[in-house]
Structure 1
């Protein structure tokens, strides 16, 4: 996710540690309660006791983006512990019925959890098939994220914890799964989703569309677009299918930007290796979101970023590269916990800045020096890069603070200064290759950096990732952090590099 100028505003071990809290003895039932996988920043996010293998999600959209969609969500999972109850993350919709392994199951809600009680307990290691018939409400509530109402339909923006505001799920990036989307919409609308299309059928005044992913995906990266759109197709490196989804009325004015994508993909591949998914493209929405978002294979952008004349062209292109870089860093290699967010945003900001330097003649060193000056202030406000402060109540995306953007790309700059550019580039390629289609932690990155460079870097990373103060910058003894009380705010930290900049 990249916050734009208008707003500026745990894997197996993790699940195992929390799993005991999921098991409620059949002989002594207790009230339904929200659970979680123990994420430090989102304690009730995700659910212990099972591992989702796939989702099959069907929506029926009747042309009014202010009315709930009828939906059926089917979840195929494996129980990793004996389950008398199963918690799913779900809110902002009405549950009509639930089945577990083909049989009706009782259900209740608690906070943002749907708590399901099957007729018989599910043994450890057994298949767990859950079917939920429900509605999916696109009207914004007090919660953030989920469906985005566009001028002519809907799109999704589920980061960080809003997938469960659209469909029942295990809403944590540590549990990635395959996805199938089936959407029925008025025949005038075009539906596009993550992955590849495999079915389109017309029946009366409606059309049904189906898409499936070819790689596992985190719930926060799901995307379904419904609207009066055109799908523009072209080829990327080695014949990679590139599809862009744009408002039909705007296809001509957007084409000068969209045609840049193949060359940007080639540039990214030259830095970190082959693109990791089945296709790529951008989804341009006529909506005011305040951010751009790396939904898997189909990055979400506001139309305004491409049409606002105050933004220089190099800036717009570098933002495109930011979301593209996330396909490697954050999508293919997903964070095991939300405290590992710096690995996503720090890397995306790094390649954004590198692209701006190489293609837009914007100095990386100048940008990093400005970030260094602001870094102590960012750490004081938001915590150090790998131990960010919890989100503000009711503001879940407030974890997307400056310290996880340029504050974290600053860590990568320091690392390259410390181990040299050749070792740094080997590390980047090894990271996305080693953890492709999986999840990884900060500790994994530290270990791989030490292995790749042939040096023990644990002390280096301890200071840069967890310290309250920013360590001295290798190779730049003259760089000094500004006093915290006068540290530049986020919108000024990138001053001097063009209008319209700033990340939240």
Structure 2
């Protein structure tokens, strides 16, 4: 179908004439259907992501005025390639005001439907053609607490975009199946520090401006760029009164941690552990996959830690509460670090593949606790086996989870995708042997580095490396309602525990 031309244009005048001719012949002019939210068909998030194009790069500019309750001015530039003929382009975006949209250098019409920004370019894009999209918008942190996107801290903002909240911050194709390179440019008051994914490539400090009544303080613009593609859910921008602590990891890897300036000394006993944890993970699965790593200790209560790419987000309280034993904090640090391989470098093709992310991160968390703190892996796995049927009954089997509760998509992150999925890896190691299992782990992150992969990819590689037919094994462990017998442990038992009835 043809695009509707702009009113008053030469094309519009030609079209009016054509309509009269068509009407006299008894014909009806074709029009575009009404704008509607789209999705790529993810079974758990049907309206997440958008078909018809592949994003190559995001270039996102924010201007932060120092008040974390007010919207940020923003400009998101997207370089993409059309994979189908597109008369409209849907972007995931909500919780901001769109001021203008340009597509391939020309103003485009736009509207919002559901959580989609629906753009009608002046000219349709043909399959294979580039798409240069620029959206001027606001990015609003108000009301976002607890629902993802911007998270307000004691002195600024950070991001927590998993699983579907990146489009509360910027427009894009908000699904891990479409990874892209990112550039962030953030202008903020000069007494604040900005850190984002990847490496800092520029910091521009204008001449200081005196603060006078009604005037503005000096600002600084920070620019960061990723060297590897990234899923939108893993984007991170930290703005606050922070200190960046630099050190060197294995093979000269730059490590940078971000903490409140007041916490610099308090956090050092934890921060200095990261190079050793990196070396431990490399010994297990191979080279660290990105250009840098570090911890972002945010002054916020999120209820979780998050593996944002190259800069994992942690609650400050994890490190300062005496109630948490050292071995536990260490293992949580390793959990988020392991995600840099499992989930970040190798991302899930669909959200039903989430068990591959969380199962592996939990596996290395537990393995680290066993090797460094004498917390036996078998003890943890036997406890998980006991609970496995209960977890499956509550949330579905690991590779076929039930959809999250409406309006609470974070509820997808259940015990069955953590210890319940690490249990699958334990069973697989029991089934194929330690040597084949360790080769599988290394091959998995090497073969799929910087890409996306599915459960079928993992099971196929396991069969290739082990030389075994694992069809029935994986059918039971990944998709059955009841937990299969544990290889090597026929005495282990699991039972479903019914939830207590209300009242």
TM-score over 0.5 for the pair = yes
Q: Quick check: 2:146–2:302 contact (8 Å CA) kept in 1?
A: no
Which position in structure 2 is the counterpart of 1:393? 406
TM-superposition CA deviations, 1:302-346 (whole Å, max 9, x none):
000001101110000000000000000000000000000000000
Which of 266, 271, 282 does residue 269 from structure 1 map onto? Answer: 282
Which position in structure 1 is the counterpart of 2:105? 102
CA displacement at 1:143 relative to structure 2: 7.6
TM-superposition CA deviations, 1:27-70 (whole Å, max 9, x none):
32222110000000000000000000000000000000000000
Distance 2:499 2:69 in 1: 45
The number of equivalent residue pairs is: 465
Distance 1:393 1:460, change over 3 A: same
Which position in structure 1 is the counterpart of 2:261? 248
Please say if 1:436 is aligned against 2:449: yes
Distance 1:278 1:141 in 2: 30
TM-superposition CA deviations, 1:213-236 (whole Å, max 9, x none):
000000000000000000000011
CA displacement at 1:407 relative to structure 2: 0.2
Please say if 1:303 is aligned against 2:316: yes
SS at match of 2:430: helix
Structure 1-normalised TM-score?
A: 0.91
Q: Quick check: 1:235–1:242 contact (8 Å CA) kept in 2?
A: yes
Please say if 1:180 is aligned against 2:193: no
Which of 460, 475, 479 does residue 466 from structure 1 map onto? Answer: 479
CA displacement at 1:485 relative to structure 2: 2.5
TM-superposition CA deviations, 1:101-140 (whole Å, max 9, x none):
0000000000100000001111111000100000000112
Which of 330, 343, 368 does residue 317 from structure 1 map onto? Answer: 330
Structure with max Cα Rg: 2
Please say if 1:454 is aligned against 2:467: yes
SS at match of 1:291: coil
Which position in structure 1 is the counterpart of 2:374? 361
SS at match of 1:75: strand
Distance 1:144 1:459 in 2: 39
Q: Quick check: 2:355–2:421 contact (8 Å CA) kept in 1?
A: yes
Q: Which structure has the higher relative contact order (CA within 8 Å, separation 6+)?
A: 1
Q: Quick check: 2:388–2:496 contact (8 Å CA) kept in 1?
A: no
Distance 1:25 1:454 in 2: 55
Distance 1:336 1:229 in 2: 35
Which position in structure 2 is the counterpart of 1:153? 156
Give 1:364-383 correspondences, 5 Å limit.
364-383=377-396
Q: Quick check: 1:246–1:284 contact (8 Å CA) kept in 2?
A: yes
Please say if 1:230 is aligned against 2:243: yes
Which of 118, 123, 128 does residue 126 from structure 2 map onto? Answer: 123
CA displacement at 1:459 relative to structure 2: 1.6
Which position in structure 1 is the counterpart of 2:15? none
* Structure 2 portions without partners, runs of 5+: 5-29, 209-217
CA displacement at 1:383 relative to structure 2: 0.3
Distance 2:276 2:201 in 1: 28
SS at match of 1:407: helix
* Structure 1 portions without partners, runs of 5+: 1-22, 488-504
CA displacement at 1:144 relative to structure 2: 1.3
Tell me how large the CA RMSD over aligned residues is. 1.2
Which position in structure 1 is the counterpart of 2:66? 63
Give 1:288-299 correspondences, 5 Å limit.
288-299=301-312
SS at match of 2:46: coil
Distance 1:143 1:266 in 2: 34
SS at match of 1:215: coil
Distance 1:212 1:245 in 2: 17
Give 1:40-55 correspondences, 5 Å limit.
40-55=43-58
Structure 2-normalised TM-score?
A: 0.91
Distance 2:271 2:330 in 1: 10
Q: Quick check: 1:61–1:183 contact (8 Å CA) kept in 2?
A: yes
Q: Quick check: 1:97–1:132 contact (8 Å CA) kept in 2?
A: yes
CA displacement at 1:484 relative to structure 2: 2.9
Q: Quick check: 2:145–2:152 contact (8 Å CA) kept in 1?
A: no
